[in-house]
Structure 1
Amino acid sequence: MDSSPHGAAVTAAGFGVKGPRGWAFRNIDFTAGPGSLIAVQGPSGSGRTCLLLALTGRMKSAAGTAEVGGLPLPKKKAAVRSVTALAHVPGVAELDPALTVGEHLRERALLQGRFGGSVRALLRPRQERRTAARALVDTALTAAGLDLESLPKGIRTSVRDLERLEALRLSVALALIGGPRLLAVDDTDLKLSDGERAAAWKMLHGLAAAGTTVLAVCSEPPEGDEDVVLVHTGSRPEPASPEGAPGTPTATPDVPDVRESSDTADTADTTDGKDGKDGAARAGGQGGPSGSDGTDSAGSTPGGAPATDGHDDEEGAADVLAETGRA
């Protein structure tokens, strides 16, 4: 593993995920150092969430290589899951609208205290454990920028009454309670206004500046931001030639037909008294079951790697969804 004190470096080369009938994404290449803000850009259905899940050890890759904090994928998926957390991923790490903000926070803190720490920590007096849990929650809320006093009913506010940005902040705060080295956030700018989108990116920038590597799926990354590592999924326009004519696409190399299969982690952070999947959703997604969004086109590299057959990718993505329980 690398010697970084907190944030995890992330690299990928020719990285791809495939279903029985086609690719969800492929040919992803990028390098990001510890504490980077990585924006995964692409249209809905281009394999963005599949990439997020694969890079956090929740989905098995079929081509290329990737590392998170020096841990190779897919060989060390379980170890990668232990240092990463998911936020705002539909069907995998999402908020329960029937619960209040306080109930979500208490449940996540309880899971972290019981399963996320050392045995020695469990032997401490109850008051010390409560104080430590309260400190974890307060630190996470501050980092996510969620002010409980500003909510309609404070900590008793129901999730269904939260604004979209507030729900995003809460989901991020829940994931941060576990102290991940890599935080993966899905649908970062979904249905946000321009002002809310700017506030969301400001929050993610702050997390990255504090040392946590952030991987954020988005439709549009912040404009003119040189600090963001941009990763594209889906088709991209080819650059024009010096004479002004359209560039000629490069042929995509053949990749062995390897069947993709999901990998479900049975870690303590994703279970509760009723259902493990529900626990993953409310616990911020750390170590949760595999899942993905629909995908329909091939991944491309930041430098403009060629796109693949969209029809083939759409079928492959549908198979990935079926295998991971997101269909």
Structure 2
Amino acid sequence: MGGESVGTETEEQPHGATVVADGFGLKGPRGWVFRQVSFRAEPGALVAVEGPSGSGRTCLLLALTGRMKAGEGHAEVDGLPLPRKMAAVRRISALGQVPGVNELDPAFTVAEHLRERALLQRRYDGSVRALLRRPAERAATARARIDGAVKAAGLDLDALPKGERTSVRDLERLEALRLSIALALMGRPRLLAVDDTDLKLSDADRAEAWALLRSLAAAGTTVLAVCSKAPEDALRITTLSGETGETAPRTSGTPAPATTETAAAKATATKTAAAEATATETAAADPGAEARAAADTTTGATDADRAAVGETAADDTTDATTEEGAADALAETGRA
């Protein structure tokens, strides 16, 4: 997806983020969610987090994109250390649809989802120059951003039952996956994370989904995808449910399998991450809103909950802004 294909002001090609983990782990109130995750992914790599449901795959994805706070080991995204620079990592990463965190609204149409994301991206893209443009020029830029993201995600709007007016509830699983990826691509992330990549997909649809992710990685974006079975050409990270915490021996060129605990620990850790997802995904360039969202999730929580999710006072901070901006942007879409 080149610079011209996503409607940005510059023509520079996107470049992916290097992702490094060494003994990375997260422990919640009920035990280890995942631990001893070690790998290195170069920019433009396709990384597949493979494992059974409940093995901590989604929590690892959220932790590596700055949405969940891990407490063991070390990880970096584009040189930004986690968890200390969680907000900065969120600004250069984006999530596809993650069940329970940032799901698509089934009552919204495809066009409504796309317009909403374009409005929010315009409001929080950090460019004062863009806000001063004439309305017609802003509309054209938003349209170009939408068209480029849809094209990069391989979403054929004309092939949908009602075109772009098709409701999300009427989309096939692969179409919904493409839509969620298109929404994520509108912010031109350096790291794209996709959950449940192959869930409920036929063999043909699964092949199409992986072909899409390969094309995005080939264009420069680092892709992190959760799946039940990884393709052979991906960098495979395996999570194992119910392990004791010992790491399996490494082999040359293969990351050590990540050991995890039961689904109960994963569910506890994921619960608070879902509460902050809306602000972090719709205001990627509004770190003040992200910090407030993280603070909201810890209100009334136990110390263990706070340790699992959110940022501390030592984390990176930026100028705070008011919440009215997000409300205004949502109001423009008729969704507030």
Structures share a fold, TM > 0.5?
Answer: yes
**For the residues of structure 2 that align with 1:141 and 1:69, how far apart are their CA atoms?**
26
Q: Does 1:320 align with 2:329?
A: no
Cα shift readout 1:215-265 (whole Å, capped 9, x = no counterpart): 00000112x32xx111111159xxxxxxxxxxxx99838xxxxxxxxxxxx
Q: Does 1:195 align with 2:201?
A: no
The 8 Å contact of residues 194 and 224 in structure 2, kept in 1 or not, is answered as: yes
How many pairs were matched up? 261
The 8 Å contact of residues 252 and 306 in structure 1, kept in 2 or not, is answered as: no
1:325, CA displacement in angstroms? 5.0
The equivalent position to 2:239 in structure 1, one of 230, 233, 239, is: 233
SS at match of 2:88: helix
**For the residues of structure 2 that align with 1:201 and 1:114, how far apart are their CA atoms?**
32
Q: Does 1:121 align with 2:130?
A: yes
* Cα pair distance change 1:108/1:146, threshold 3 Å: same
Q: Does 1:134 align with 2:140?
A: no
* Cα pair distance change 1:131/1:25, threshold 3 Å: same
* 1:107-256 alignment, distance < 5 Å: 107-222=116-231, 224-225=232-233, 228-235=234-241, 252=246
TM-score (norm 1): 0.75
* Cα pair distance change 1:170/1:33, threshold 3 Å: same
Q: Does 1:74 align with 2:83?
A: yes
Structure 2: which 5+ runs fail to align? 1-12, 276-336
The 8 Å contact of residues 216 and 223 in structure 2, kept in 1 or not, is answered as: yes
Equivalence for 1:45: 54
* Cα pair distance change 1:102/1:29, threshold 3 Å: same
User: Whose helix proportion is higher, 1 or 2?
Assistant: 2
SS at match of 1:203: helix
The 8 Å contact of residues 20 and 41 in structure 2, kept in 1 or not, is answered as: yes
The equivalent position to 1:84 in structure 2, one of 80, 88, 93, is: 93
* 1:282-293 alignment, distance < 5 Å: none
Equivalence for 1:65: 74
1:117, CA displacement in angstroms? 3.8
1:93, CA displacement in angstroms? 1.8
**For the residues of structure 1 that align with 2:147 and 2:79, how far apart are their CA atoms?**
30
Cα shift readout 1:180-222 (whole Å, capped 9, x = no counterpart): 1101000000000000000000000000001111100000112
Percent identity over the alignment? 65
The 8 Å contact of residues 18 and 317 in structure 1, kept in 2 or not, is answered as: no
SS at match of 1:127: helix
* Cα pair distance change 1:221/1:252, threshold 3 Å: closer
Structure 1: which 5+ runs fail to align? 237-248, 254-297
The 8 Å contact of residues 241 and 259 in structure 2, kept in 1 or not, is answered as: yes
